[in-house]
Amino acid sequence: MILLLVGFFIWLLLLALLRLCAPLLERWLDQLHPNESSLLLLVILTLPLLAATLITLELASPAWSHWFIASHCHELRQSLACGQHAPITPHIPVLLAIASVLAAGLVVWLLYRLWRAQKTLTTFIALADAHEIRDVYILPSDAPLAFTLGYWRSRIFLSQGLLEVCDENSIRSVIEHERAHQLRHDNLRLFVAKLATLPFFWGVGRLLERLDLTHEQACDWYATGTLEAHEVAASIVQIARLNRDFADAKNLYSASFFCRSHVRERVNALIKNDYPQDAGWRRALITGGSTLMAITLLLDPLHHWIEWFY
């Protein structure tokens, strides 16, 4: 049980460290193409949870941790001879009960979110008419709506009001942009990032916003494979203006809206058309290697600190 509390504390500590490093990370990510920066940022946001989980497993499993924790002995009154072992900790039923309730609550909440997302998607499909383009549906609404709904098998939804006021190029821009969200599974990516930062999401909100921006820019760039960049930018501006007069149900679970956010940054990037092309794999290797090194260096002092605390 103490190990679970230690893992949670490490999770919070790493998230706080991530918050402090946010300005440096943003400048680092500015040098990358949105496709690469969005993937790398997702990895960075999930690293605290993965690192805390790995450290906890290593501490709790002597067979795994003997490479990283120096051999040492304990007094016989602790019922442990010399050799590799997990940290000696008390068994406290109250803490175990609290942790079990919290874990069960988290699982129930996660299953509810997934069930709610699937139910919402099924309801919208039933309300809409299928378009001639695969996985595109038309909603009978006057509001100029365009969004991708669902976590894994997502669908693209356009409103009848949007089709009536936008020209063919704008509609093609919207569909190509939303198709990119669908192919990239951006709704699922953002959900995983929020889940991995759940205890400190208000602290890393800046990085979550940055992840959303890179998603949108990556999808805008995908749309330029079919249309000119200025046409995609014009469609963003047009639909953003239309949305001023309508409520676009932004509280939908698992939905990516065409003009939900970052309109100015997206349009500027399209007009300049200067998406960086530097490969991000080097940064991914540096980030992953540094994290693994930090984990190995933390294991031995954490093991002894837990035992000293007890």
Backbone dihedral region of 83: left (phi > 0), alpha (psi from -120 to 50 degrees) or beta?
A: left
Residue found under tokens 């993965």: 50
254, 121 in Cβ contact below 8 A? yes
The Cα 51–Cα 44 span in angstroms is 11
Looking at residue 213, its pLDDT comes to 92
Looking at residue 181, its pLDDT comes to 94
Looking at residue 25, its pLDDT comes to 83
The set of residues, in sequence order, having a beta carbon less than 8 Å from that of 52 and lying 6+ positions away, is 7, 8, 10, 11, 14
Looking at residue 310, its pLDDT comes to 52
Looking at residue 279, its pLDDT comes to 56
pLDDT tens digits in sequence order for the chain, 310 residues long: 556 666 777 788 888 888 888 888 888 888 888 888 888 899 889 988 887 877 777 666 665 555 566 666 666 445 555 665 555 555 555 556 666 777 788 889 888 888 988 898 999 999 999 888 888 899 998 888 889 998 888 999 999 989 988 888 899 999 999 999 999 999 999 999 999 998 887 888 889 999 999 999 999 999 998 899 999 999 999 888 887 766 555 556 677 888 777 889 999 988 887 666 655 556 666 766 776 677 667 666 766 666 555 5
Looking only at the bridges linking them, the beta strands covering 129-130 and 146-149 are: unpaired
Looking at residue 71, its pLDDT comes to 65
The set of residues, in sequence order, having a beta carbon less than 8 Å from that of 185 and lying 6+ positions away, is 151, 152, 154
How do the residues of the chain divide into helix, strand and coil, expressed in percent and rounded to 5?
Answer: 65, 5, 25
Chain-centre distance of CA 154, in angstroms?
17
Nearest to 44 by CA among 71, 67, 14, 66: 14
